Structure 1
C-alpha cells in the first residue's frame, strides 16, 4: 500500500513537473540580460522595459483580450440557448441533426472550420460581411466556443431539480421570469466556467485567427508566430511572465470567491434568532 501510494505521488509530481518546470524556466529567462531566450546571462529588467515600449505587442494583446471577451460573452448566450434546447425541448424533427451540428465544432479540425469561414467572408456575393478582420475572427471564435458552453450548460441542466421551476410556474410566475430568476442562478457556475473556457480558447486560438486576420487585426498568437520566423527575443518571455502572473492572481481570487461561505442576510439572521 505504501509503495503504491508513493508511486502514485511520484507520478503526480512528475506530471506536474513536466507541465510547470518549462513555465518556471520561461519566467527565469525573462530576466536575462542577453539576447537569447534560453540562456541566462545575468539578471536584468531590460526586456520588461522593451515590452513596455513595444506598441505592436500592446495592440495585439488588447485585440486578443477584446475579441476573447466578446466571443466568450456571445458564446455564453448562444451556448446557453443551445443547451436549454438540447435538454428541455425533447425529441423533435431534426433534433439529432441539431445535436450533431452543435458538437461538430469541437470534433472538426479547425483548418476545415477556418477554410469554410474564409470562403464565407471572402465570397463576392457576401461582401456585406466585411471580409476578413476582427468581426470574422469574433464570429469564428464564437462558433467554436459556443459548442463547449452548450455542453457545460446542458450537463448542469440535467442535474438541476425541475421541481424548482415547476413550483414557480404553479405559483403563476411567467416562464421567462422563471428562467432568469430560478434557472440562471442554479446554472451560474456552468455559465461562469463556460465564459472562462471560451475566453481561454479564444485567447489561445491561432489557426482561425491566422486564416481570418488581415493586416489590421493581428492577435497575439499570430504575432508571436510571425516573430518566430525572425527569432524570438526574451521580450516574449517577459510578456508570458506577465500573463502567467495575471492569470494566477485571477485563478486564486476566483477560487477564494467560490470557496467562501455564503453570508446570511440580516432578516434571515433575525428570523433564525
Structure 2
C-alpha cells in the first residue's frame, strides 16, 4: 500500500528543485524580453524604457527579407509535412497490424531520435550532389529539408488523434452504404481536423525556429530569421536582436498555446 500511495511531490526538496529548474529555464528568457525594451545600445546595462529597437528591427530590410523567407519556408514545409504525416498516420492506424509496422514507425520518427547535426550533415552532402548535378540553388532544398525534418512532429498529434477517435461513426457510415471516400470526407476528416491543424502548427513552429539544418543546407543570400540573428550575434550585439527574439518568441507562444488548446482532452 505504501508503494501505491507514493507521490514524487512529497519527496523532501522536490519543490525547491522544481522552482530552481523553472528559474534556470525562464529567467534568461525574461531577461532577454526585458532588455528588448532597453533605450541604450547595451544588452547588459539598463538605460531606460524604449520601443526604439522594435522600430529599428521593423525598418531593417534584411530583417524583413529574412522574416518573409522564414515564413514562406515554414508555411510550405508545414503543408508538405502535414500532408505526408496525415497519410502515414492513416496508413498505420486505420488497418490491422502488419509485418514491418514497427520499422515504419522507426523510419517516420527517425529525425526525432538522431541528433539534428547528423541529419544536417547528411542533407548537406546529399543536396550538395544534387546542386552539382542540376545547378539549381533555390529555396527548394531548404523547403524539402524542413519538410523531412518536420514530418514526425506533425505525425505524432495526428496519430494520437486517430487512435483516440471512436470507430463507430465510420462503421455506421459504411453500414449506410457510404463509399470509403465519402466516409473519409464527411466523417473521418472532420473528426481528424483538430489533429491535422495541431500537427501543422507544430511543424510550422519547428521549421520557423530551425537553425542547424538551415545553416548547413542554405545557399548564399538565403538567410532565415534565426540564421540572420546568429550572424548578427557574431558581430556587434545590440538590443535589436533582443527585439527580434521577443517577436519570434511571441509568435511561437501563440502557436503553441493554440496547439495545446486543440490537443487537450475535453471532459
* Alignment TM class, shorter chain as reference: 0.7 to 0.9
Change (3 A) 1:202 1:245: closer
What is the CA distance between 1:161 and its match in structure 2? 1.5
**3-state DSSP of counterpart to 1:41:** coil
1:35-78 Cα distance to aligned partner (Å, 9 max, x none): 22122122333322321221111111111111111111111110
- Alpha-carbon distance in structure 2 between the residues aligned to 1:100 and 1:129: 33
What is the CA distance between 1:230 and its match in structure 2? 0.9
- 2:118 aligns with 112
- 1:182 aligns with 187
Q: Is the 8 A contact 1:121 1:130 kept in 2?
A: no
Change (3 A) 1:106 1:18: same
TM-score normalised by structure 2 residue count = 0.83
Q: Is 1:193 matched with 2:227?
A: no
**3-state DSSP of counterpart to 2:77:** helix
1:238-258 Cα distance to aligned partner (Å, 9 max, x none): 112233444455666777899
- Alpha-carbon distance in structure 1 between the residues aligned to 2:252 and 2:200: 15
Instruction: Pick one of 25, 34, 38 that aligns with 2:40.
Output: 34
1:162-212 Cα distance to aligned partner (Å, 9 max, x none): 121111011111112211221122222221221111111101111110011
Instruction: Pick one of 22, 25, 33 that aligns with 2:31.
Output: 25
Instruction: Give the 5 Å matches for 1:96-245.
Output: 96-123=102-129, 127-128=133-134, 130-131=136-137, 133-245=138-250
- 1:87 aligns with 93
TM-score normalised by structure 1 residue count = 0.82
What is the CA distance between 1:6 and its match in structure 2? 11
Tell me the number of residue pairs that the alignment of Structure 1 and Structure 2 aligns.
258
- Alpha-carbon distance in structure 2 between the residues aligned to 1:191 and 1:31: 37
1:210-240 Cα distance to aligned partner (Å, 9 max, x none): 0111112111111111112113211011112
In structure 2, stretches of 5+ residues that fail to align are 1-6
Change (3 A) 1:143 1:246: closer
What is the CA distance between 1:7 and its match in structure 2? 6.7
- Alpha-carbon distance in structure 1 between the residues aligned to 2:150 and 2:100: 22
Higher alpha-carbon deviation: 184-193 or 137-146: 184-193
- Backbone CA RMSD of aligned residues: 3.0
